[in-house]
Amino acid sequence: MNPPSRWDDAMRRALAEARAALAADDVPVGAVVLDETGTVIGTGHNTREADADPTGHAEVVALRAAATARGEWRLTGCTLVVTLEPCTMCAGALVLARVDRLVFGAYDDKLGAVGSLWDVVRDRRLNHRPEVVAGVLAGESSALLDSFFARHRSEHREVR
């Protein structure tokens, strides 16, 4: 077991957001954006199913909320905390938003763009590269995802 991290409380908040996605029958991914003082200024969870929006990823929803709260698109000084390693779209969005730090829970071996398949956020060709903290409460994040996909696989088999 990993020792407690300074990011555990924020990740628990992101996990609560992930459970909101689960309640809406969407992939349980949640995110929060913290400002320089550690105050939550944006939250989000997957809304792809509810909004019929392919960009309705937790990170994008949380970044939009944080930008609205700040009144600007630059999120310099902020930390994005998300339960799952971001995909290429979300990794690009956090780079473009100038987020200083990314904290994530579980790695995503199928779509991850922060070390698993690609490493968008640390690409030296980009003008902004956030700090990355990986694996915070990864077991809790993975458990939510595993149970969601196991249930969906089971339901899909029953339909056939």
Residue ranges for the binding site for Zn(2+)?
A: 57, 87, 90
Note the pLDDT of residue 159. 44
Instruction: Give the model's pLDDT for residue 2.
Output: 61
Residue showing tokens 């698109």: 73
Residues 67-72: contacts with CB under 8 Å, at least 24 apart: 67/42, 67/97, 68/42, 69/41, 69/42, 70/35, 70/41
- Catalytic hit among 59, 85, 155, 158: 59
The pLDDT of residue 1: 56
> Tens-of-pLDDT digits for all 160 residues of the chain?
566 789 999 999 999 999 999 999 999 999 999 999 999 999 999 999 999 999 999 999 999 999 999 999 999 999 999 999 999 999 999 999 999 999 999 999 999 999 999 999 999 999 999 999 999 999 999 999 999 998 888 776 554 4
In this predicted structure, what is the pLDDT of residue 46?
A: 98
Main-chain phi, psi angles of 94, to 5 degrees: -75, -30
Assess whether 59 carries a catalytic annotation: yes
pTM for this predicted structure: 0.93
